[in-house]
A and B are shown apart, each in its own frame.
Chain A
């Protein structure tokens, strides 16, 4: 009987001991984990110093994507209304976040350093259509609080 009480006391003892120990749990969403800058989260389309989009609509990201998550439609900019730094730009650029496997191949393939994966990973939504990020969304990447 004493062994039983001793065993219980030991178990309770380690429980109460653990109560006072520091915790690894991060209380999301009040506190958030730090991610490395190379963390592969949501995409963004970058612009250069003059405000021109870097994306030229080449479609290499679309070609390399193993999940076929990217759709690129290119077009020629109208005279005087340059969108990118050259006359070709992406008029449609969509990334399906559900298909995306966040491998980062698109970022590697991009010859103009336009598409990049940011550390933003809060992608949940309640509608599948909402999870297709279009160009407007990608040009204005959310920054995590």
Chain B
């Protein structure tokens, strides 16, 4: 630890801290442009000039590390002249755009000039002219004249993300920020440069001219599109969310967002948003719909007794809303059949659940079935951050496709989804055959044939055991992995953490509310529906035919039920089966708690009113309570934070029983030429967005480049005919080098109709009539 004095105050900081960071600890603000803690020092802008005693010239506080006994002055004549000089220099070529520039009012150039700058400009010459309304891509604009050349954007895209799509062109005053070959930047992280840019050079196209800092409100929230739950700030104006910004959390989160989260906030007022109530395919009033549903519930209970109504939670509801449903189900609807909609069968006990700190400290990371770049993009960024500080990070991918990539290089072990647990079990058996539970684990699969050599299996096992800090990301597809992970954690003394990347996004919140989120639970509920034990289904955000892995069960249960009530944000695939469609308030319209993949509780504030007839869950439940004429009180006392440790869910409990054998996977149909695999892709998570439409593609399915060539698919994708058990269907595919031959990858939960009709896929053929793009 180093002790130094800044402006007469002493402060002690770790060695290697820069002066500006040390000053920040004291609350002393040193103005910066090019310095960003995540990107490291650059020393280019010269804004942070401070005076250090015994040094002849002013030094940049962002590049100078503290030394013992250093005396720093951030105020006083020389420093003030230095800052005035730099600001005057920045302003000479800066265009007089403040009234028309969106950054006005929240601009660091305005603020620093006001505080540290000269009162008048002395520059009389013509200002340099550059491109003013250039695109970085559809969603990010650049005004090169306003740029102060802090290089944050180019460094972020090049060094931090690893996708060098922005660069500096030209020299001297003619330097401009532009895209490579003047082509649109395609990275899914380009939106972050909007937050990074200290002036109005890089702007959001969807937010263009929509608001000013004084006529908007900012609400602290979390993004609802994937289980990362990035901390963000929703900007609202007149009851519309008009922007989402990242919200840095000191010492924990840089506040990055992926473009899907950043620009996909408009699903709440999308044209597809359900804002009317529908009962038996006729639009009706909210009151009528509520009454009808209550009547059905009472009828069902009267006829069939308690437990004849089933509730399934899905969607993006808060933990408090889940608790309300659970309480209503138990207290009023007399049913304990409450489950969570799941699109994979896996479950992770809280005891094994790690946090993002486990990624920051990991020396070995294993992707089990999931490609974080596509499924949980900001986790990929966190790993990039780790990689930059620790270049020996070992990245291993296990799954039916390649999960590592250029910007996250590693080793892939290609095994079918159903074989993942077997692979792990055999690896542990090879590397630690006498470990507790290992032999039990591998009992049924000792001789199962895997497409990986014995040497590689053992090497993998060894890597798992030797890691100093092992972190795994798991997509939940292979349920037996939970068993394996428990044994693995037990074998290792050093930290082992698992981060689940499956959904629904707030499933841990639903768990906190008392609903069992395991697949067995929802399967049992639907089985009971299929057999007639449960007669009525209330689907709260759940879309069974779209998400449930066992589609037949979903369809049969829905067909059998007397009444199906569904509360949704956008029309679900279940539509043909639904008797009452209720418009319900969603993220941004209700305040509540979301629990992310770390098991961390965050509050999403409400900022806008739900459109049309959409009502919060609370309203429905309260009205039903009244209609049942019961003494049902909304439990406002329940706080999910009560059972948590700080803001993390409790890791206690869930004590694992004795190890169980990994079940032997069934043999695959050899006649099936093609294998279908599924993966999570945040762009296809089911929520529509007008803003992101330019980024959408019809060709969401993927095949290997070799297969694409054979099928005549062009560079951007094309249509092929899929011959399945149920007939022929046209699907849109594109080439992806991560996919192996004879494999069709489809995104989980895609809203494309054909994604639901691919059972018994025999082969893909080139369509004769439809040309590929």
Contact = CB atoms under 8 A, between A and B. Distances in A.
Interface of A: 56-60, 62-63, 71-76, 86-88, 111-112
Q: On chain B, which size bracket covers the interface?
A: 10 to 19
A57 B133 CA distance: 18
A87 B101 CA distance: 11
Contacts of A71: 215
A58 B99 contact: yes
A63 B208 contact: no
B658 interface: no
Nearest to B213: A63
Interface string B94-112: 0000111000110000000
A58 B104 CA distance: 9
B215 A60 contact: no
Contact of A56 (B99, B133, B208): B99
Nearest to B237: A73
Given A72-B215, A76-B208, A76-B209, 20 more contacts: A56-B100, A57-B100, A57-B209, A58-B104, A58-B212, A59-B215, A60-B99, A62-B212, A62-B215, A63-B214, A71-B215, A72-B212, A73-B210, A74-B209, A86-B100, A87-B100, A87-B133, A88-B100, A111-B98, A111-B99
B100 A58 contact: yes
Which 9 residue pairs across A and B have the least CB separation, nearest first? A58-B99, A74-B209, A59-B212, A88-B100, A63-B214, A111-B99, A56-B100, A56-B99, A75-B209
A132 B38 CA distance: 49
A interface, over-half SS: mixed
B104 to A, nearest CB: 7
Nearest to A90: B209
Contacts of A111: 98-99
A60 B104 CA distance: 10
B576 to A, nearest CB: 41
Interface in B69-99: 98-99
Contacts of A75: 209
A27 B115 CA distance: 55
Nearest to B99: A58
Given A74-B209, A88-B209, A112 B215 contact: no
Contacts, number: 37
Interface of B: 98-100, 104-105, 133, 208-210, 212, 214-215
A59 B133 contact: no
Contacts of A72: 212, 215
A80 to B, nearest CB: 14
B99 A112 contact: yes
B102 to A, nearest CB: 9
A86 B133 CA distance: 12
B99 A63 contact: no
Contacts of B133: 87
Nearest to A70: B215
Most buried by A among B98, B100, B212: B100
Centre residue among A57, A59, A87, A112 by max chain B CB count within 10 A: A59
Contacts of B215: 59, 62-63, 71-72
B208 to A, nearest CB: 6
22 contacts: A56-B99, A57-B100, A57-B209, A58-B104, A58-B212, A60-B99, A62-B212, A62-B215, A63-B105, A63-B212, A63-B214, A63-B215, A71-B215, A72-B212, A72-B215, A73-B210, A74-B209, A74-B210, A86-B100, A88-B209, A111-B99, A112-B99
Contacts of B212: 58-59, 62-63, 72
A63 B210 CA distance: 15
A52 B100 CA distance: 16
Could you say which of A62, A74, A76, A86 has the most chain B C-beta atoms within 10 Å of its C-beta? A74
A40 B506 CA distance: 56
Contacts of B98: 58, 111
A88 B209 CA distance: 8
B690 to A, nearest CB: 16
B397 to A, nearest CB: 44
A2 B225 CA distance: 100
A56 B98 CA distance: 11
A63 to B, nearest CB: 5
B100 A59 contact: no
A95 B209 CA distance: 19
Contacts of A87: 100, 133
B772 to A, nearest CB: 32
A111 B101 CA distance: 13
A81 B208 CA distance: 18
Contacts of A58: 98-100, 104, 212
Nearest to A88: B100
A93 to B, nearest CB: 13
A62 B215 CA distance: 8
Contacts of A56: 99-100
A74 B210 CA distance: 6
A59 B214 contact: yes
B239 to A, nearest CB: 14
A31 B100 CA distance: 44
A122 to B, nearest CB: 30
Nearest to B104: A58
Contacts of A57: 100, 209
The residue in B99, B133, B208 that gathers the most chain A C-beta atoms within 10 A of its C-beta is B99
Nearest to A111: B99
